[in-house]
Amino acid sequence: MKKLVLATSNKGKVREIKELCSEYEVVPYTDLIDAFEIIEDADTFQENALIKARAVYKALGDENAIVLADDSGISVDVLEGAPGIYSARYTGEGADDKENLQKLMQDIKAKGVTSSPAHYTAAIAIVTKGIEKTVHGWMHGEALTEAKGEGGFGYDPMFVPLGYEKTLGELDEKVKKELSHRSQALKLAGKILKSL
């Protein structure tokens, strides 16, 4: 079984990527080396995913390692696409998921609406010997001003996927597994991984 090293410290991502890449041995990099800070200072999901994958590839010091990074976030139409690449830092550096979720609901409410069209983006970067590739996936839907359910992570309790009436916090995890930005991007990443 080919080993994929994940350049992430987000447990929700690790859980989902393990589920979605079951034909690989998926290992978070922190199982192999000490966690270190990676500054995600680019302007796009794509570049930030590459920054993470390159940093971990270099730190591992194993040229045959295959490293996969995910940079993702939610963009809300009524907020002109915010928080976008700043989703993890919406309430500041070191913010937690709950604080970010509360702020996003408040900011939508402050626009005088109770929901807004929104979408998640995931950029996946794959870095290995002589190769750097990126792909994207999206999930469209509606961002609510009310959090419902405990499923998923991050902004999922306030996000209703297009075609559904419940949030990702409430829906069976199979729905997210099928539809998510991450699963769409990983389907494409799978084609790259097969060619390695």
Ligand X SMILES: O=c1nc[nH]c2c1ncn2[C@H]1C[C@H](O)[C@@H](COP(=O)(O)OP(=O)(O)OP(=O)(O)O)O1
81: left (phi over 0), alpha (psi -120 to 50) or beta: left
Q: Is 181 annotated as a binding residue?
A: yes
Q: Report the site for ligand X in 151-180 (rule: CB under 6 A).
A: 152-156, 180
Q: Which stretch binds Mg ion (CB under 5 A): 61-69, 86-94, 95-103, 161-169?
A: 86-94
| Neighbouring residues of 117: CB distance < 8 A, sequence distance ≥ 6 | 76, 77, 78, 140, 141, 142, 143
Residues serving a catalytic function are 71
- Going by C-alpha positions, the residue among 100, 72, 89 that lies closest to residue 7 is 72
Any binding-site annotation on 119? Answer: no
Shortest Cβ distance from residue 122 to ligand X (Å)?
6
Q: Which of residues 119-158 bind ligand X (CB under 6 A)?
A: 120, 152-156
**Residue 40 touching ligand X (CB under 6 A):** yes
Comparing CB distances to ligand X, the nearer of 100 and 115 is: 100
Given the complex with Mg ion, which of 88 and 158 has the nearer CB atom?
A: 88
100 binds, among Mg ion, ligand X, none (CB under 5 to 8 A by kind): ligand X
180 binds, among ligand X, Mg ion, none (CB under 5 to 8 A by kind): ligand X
Under rule CB under 6 A, how many of the chain's residues touch ligand X?
22
Find all residues with CB under 8 Å of 112, minimum gap 6, and list them: none
Q: Which tokens is 37 given?
A: 């800070």
Q: Binding-site residue total for Mg ion (CB under 5 A)?
A: 1
88 binds Mg ion (CB under 5 A): yes
Report the nearest approach of ligand X to the CB of residue 87 (Å). Answer: 4
Helix axes 181-194, 11-20, angle to 10 degrees: 60
Q: 38-60 burial string, b = 16+ CB within 10 Å, else e?
A: bebeeeebbbbbbbbbbbbbebb
User: By the 8 A CB rule, do 115 and 144 touch?
Assistant: yes
Which residues participate in the annotated binding site for Mg(2+)? 71
Which residues participate in the annotated binding site? 8-13, 71-72, 153-156, 176, 181-182
* Residue ranges binding Mg ion (CB under 5 A): 88
